[in-house]
A and B are shown apart, each in its own frame.
Chain A
């Protein structure tokens, strides 16, 4: 098992959520009428607009606040947001791309070993919590970097954090704790 310490672990970013503001009021009906790939939801007061490249979905509110989801990197999220802002400019709105911020990054990772969740929770209480009746994974919250790691017994991890760097740091922090609790086949 010593060789597993030297193995690299791939962290695959599956979703990046970013927000930005247009600094102007947006007429949602105009966007719904003149935009393609647009879904208008008057009951919640927003418009969904989907871009092909990068593949993102934007939720647009009339106040000018926009949330972009679906990107697989921070740069992709920024490019998608800028394309969206340009699109709204072309529709006739006086858009100024501002306050762009990545708010959430979701990543998955797979450990090369399986994990004994009960031992992991016992060793890391109260940071780790495990309620098998509620959710099959143990939750490990790292306060200082505001990241949450969900650990499954198969060795799969789901990490959420405010940015990609924090997600990587979370995996680095949690790896040795998981390594201690590798699951043997039987005792």
Chain B
């Protein structure tokens, strides 16, 4: 079919196309019959409906109308549309701004977060993901820029703002860091402590005077408790929120340890301070009290009977003299270990650390020889040099101390102190992988024909009975 045989003028797209000004169109463009429109109009990329006159002049090539002044423009320019930013990108950038303003971060942090978001959004890793994931990406960009600018914020806060799963936020965050090739330092619990303490509404204006506490004093005491807890294996590897809540609660009780405060439970305290209680905080409180009890026992001027329950009143003294109390507690612990076990059976820490004046000893150093030898005992190796002896074998207490370094040191992670019972290890098979395989052992994995028939019959009966019952 040649161009001359067609009933309407054909404009060949590859050539230059004249443009008509819209005022000369007899009636609205959208009412033009399609057969009279040049093929160019049939291309969806060119025309946007309903078109306005100004759009027509900007982007569309229309019918040739001789007699008008026309300027020839190349086809690519006539069909070119100004690239607009993606709607989702614009919405995402707005969301990043909203999150930044809710958190009241500095302007530099907001701008950095917007830059990161734009870069990450256009990367292939995040370009075709769900909108939910893109929203999480926005939160992660804010998190990364806060961390780089040393603005303390936790992953939990971002998850809460996005109303998302912390695991999903973490996954997107790790991907984003890798894609953008940036480094963002993490915060320790003490860095976020100050911001966290401000959430607790226990200042003089919010609660009665006997329950009120100055925010600065509370923060200072709570930070000291967290630092002491970090030295005692309570903080490492744990979620920060329950630890912070436990520290604030104990700090608040210890600053004015009257009967009213000491009797108040964690739940009531959280209601008073208008914060949501964390279930794990109760466990952390117990662990912290245990740690304070071990140190409080060494206070020479305290003559009454000390228990983990009444140690809160001594928190101030414990924190003030913590280093010397720690030294004394370690020495007492070593002496008690020596009393429990005969000399030379279990290697206490005193031989390695008593020479140092500071208490900068490694809690993990004490089990160096014993744990490795415990491993050797487990595998039944010969040549165990120092620890095995008939008396030790017969004494379960010393055996337990030998195998579990958590029982030997003053402070150890709870997972080591209360170690789970290990599964009985199966003996290793000494094989090469190329052994002969006998038929008899393979036969044990295959049913006989009779067994197979019986099994099939049973399955059929079960299936029919299930159908009947349903």
Contact = CB atoms under 8 A, between A and B. Distances in A.
Interface in A114-159: 114-115, 117-118, 121-122, 125-126, 129-137, 152-155
A19 to B, nearest CB: 15
Given A131-B155, A136-B237, A153-B237, A113 B443 contact: no
Interface string A87-104: 100110000000000000
Interface stretch (B15-23, B79-87, B425-433): B425-433
A183 B443 CA distance: 55
Contact of A132 (B240, B362, B375, B442): B240
A129 B147 CA distance: 14
Interface stretch (A31-39, A59-67, A165-173): A31-39
Contacts of A72: 426, 428-429
Contact of A183 (B362, B375, B428, B432): B362
B46 to A, nearest CB: 48
B204 interface: no
Interface string B256-292: 0000000000000000000000000000000000000
A184 B236 CA distance: 13
B234 to A, nearest CB: 11
A77 B413 CA distance: 36
Interface stretch (B28-36, B53-61, B95-103, B181-189): B181-189
Contact of A34 (B173, B330, B371, B447): B447
B365 A133 contact: no
Contact of B154 (A1, A53, A55, A133): A133
A32 B439 CA distance: 20
Candidate in A35, A53, A132, A136 with the most chain B CB atoms within 10 angstroms: A132
Nearest to A71: B429
Contacts of A110: 371, 375
A131 B154 CA distance: 10
Q: Secondary structure of the A side of the interface?
A: loop
A3 B238 contact: no
Interface in A16-43: 33-37
Contacts of B439: 90
B383 to A, nearest CB: 12
A185 B416 contact: no
Interface in A43-72: 49, 51, 53-55, 72
Given A112-B364, A132-B239, A153-B413, A36 B429 contact: no
Nearest to B167: A134
Given A36-B445, A133-B156, A153-B413, A112 B372 contact: yes
A133 B166 CA distance: 8
A112 B371 contact: yes
Nearest to A51: B445
Nearest to A4: B368
B375 A10 contact: yes
A60 to B, nearest CB: 13
A129 B375 CA distance: 29
Interface in B436-451: 437, 439, 441-447
A187 B166 CA distance: 33
Contact of B446 (A1, A34, A78): A34
B41 interface: no
B444 A36 contact: yes
B365 A113 contact: yes
A48 to B, nearest CB: 13
Contact of A186 (B240, B360, B435): B360
Nearest to A100: B433
A55 B425 CA distance: 12
Contact of A185 (B360, B371, B455): B360
B365 A1 contact: yes
Contacts of B411: 185
Contacts of B409: 185
Interface of B: 154-156, 166-167, 170, 173-174, 177, 183, 185-186, 188, 231, 233, 236-240, 323, 326, 330, 352, 359-365, 367-369, 371-372, 375, 379, 409-411, 413, 415-416, 426, 428-429, 431-435, 437, 439, 441-447, 452, 455-456
Report the 5 A-B pairs with minimum CB-CB distance, sorted nearest first.
Answer: A136-B237, A78-B433, A114-B364, A75-B433, A134-B170
Interface of A: 1, 3-4, 7-10, 33-37, 49, 51, 53-55, 72-79, 82-83, 86-87, 90-91, 110-115, 117-118, 121-122, 125-126, 129-137, 152-155, 182-187
